[in-house]
Copies of this chain bind each other. A is one copy, B any other.
C-alpha cells in the first residue's frame, strides 16, 4: 500500500486532565518532547498548518478542541459556533496529530470555579475594546490547558495576532514553563485569512471579503515606504467600506511586539483590522517592516 492510500489510524481522544497528564507523562518517560495546539475546533487548513508546524517542533503533538464559554460574551456566538468533533479528529489524524484533547465544559469549569485572569498591555484596545470578555477568557483557558498538559511548546496562528501577543504576555508574566510559537496566517487562494467564522459568510459576501487583506497589504507597503499613517488608515477604511463591509471595528497601526499605538514606522509594526460583513466579524493583520 502506498502512504496515500493508508487509512489514517484512529486518533486517541483524551477527555480529562488525568487522561492528558497520563499521556504526556508516558511520552516524556520515553524521552519524547510534546507540543500542544489549542483550538476551538471547526478545523480548517490553518489549524492543520499549526499541527504540521508543531510536528517540526516536538516529537508528539496534541491538539485540543474546546469551545471556551469563558471567552464569549452572552450576546456572542458561543451557541452557534461550529462544532464537528468527528470531522476535526479525521483532519487532525491526517495532519499527523498524535492525540485529540477534548475536555468537557464541566471538566474545565466545575461547580465552585472562582478564578479569573486579566491581562492589560497588549490586551488593551483593538479586539479588547470590542470584546472585553475575550482575552480574560483566553488567558484562563490557555493557562489551564498549558498547566494540564505542560507541553514543551504550543503553537498559535498569527491570524489572531493580538491574542498571540496576549498569550506571550501572560505566559511570561505567570512564569508558565511553555514556549509559545506563532505561525503566519494561512490564507485562501484569494487572500482571505482562513477562519472558522468564514462559514458565517453568504455566497455573495464571500467574493467581497478578500478586499480586507488586499487593502491591508497595500497599506503596509505604503507605510513601509514612509506614507503618513492617518492618511493610510483612512484609505483602508474607505476601501473596505466600499467593498461592502458594514461596521468597521478598527483599523490600527501598533508596535509589533508590545501592541502599543505607533504614529510612525520606526521599528517592526503590525497593521490590524476588524470589520463586519453580514453576520461575520472578520479580523486580519499584516506585518509592517520599516524600509531599509
Q: Which residues of B contact A176 (CB under 8 A)?
A: 147
In the assembled complex, the Cα of A114 lies from the Cα of B174 at a distance in Å of: 10
For window 161-189 of chain A, which residues contact chain B by CB distance below 8 Å?
169-170, 173-177
- The distance from the CB of A146 to the nearest CB of chain B, in whole angstroms, is 9
Q: Which of A118, A139, A174 has the most CB of B within 10 A?
A: A174
Number of copies of this chain in the oligomer? 2
Q: Does A33 sit within 8 A of B, measured CB to CB? A: no
CB distance from A141 to the nearest CB of B (A): 11
Would B175 and A144 count as touching, CB distance under 8 A? yes
Give Cα A17 to B174, complex, Å.
11
Q: Is the CB of A116 within 8 A of B115?
A: no
**Are B120 and A170 in contact, with the CB atoms below 8 A?**
no
Say yes or no: is A236 at the interface (Cβ < 8 Å to chain B): no
In the complex, A121 has a CB within 8 A of chain B: yes
Q: How far is the CB of A173 from chain B (nearest CB, A)?
A: 4
Across the interface, A174 reaches (CB within 8 A) one of B112, B144, B177, namely B144
Any B CB within 8 A of the CB of A258: yes
User: Residues on A close to B: CB < 8 A?
Assistant: 17, 21, 112-123, 139-140, 143-144, 147-148, 150, 169-170, 173-177, 258
Residue of B112, B121, B150, B177 near A114 (CB, 8 A) is B121
Q: Are B114 and A122 in contact, with the CB atoms below 8 A?
A: yes
* Set of chain B residues within 8 Å of A174, measured between Cβ atoms: 115, 140, 143-144, 147
Residue among B120, B139, B147, B169 making CB contact with A175, cutoff 8 Å: B147
Q: Is the CB of A114 within 8 A of B169?
A: yes
Known interface pairs A148-B175, A150-B177, A175-B147; A118-B116 also in contact (CB < 8 Å): yes
CA distance A139 to B143 in the complex (A): 14
Query: Which chain B residues border A21 with CB–CB below 8 Å?
Result: 177
B115 touches A119 (CB 8 A): yes
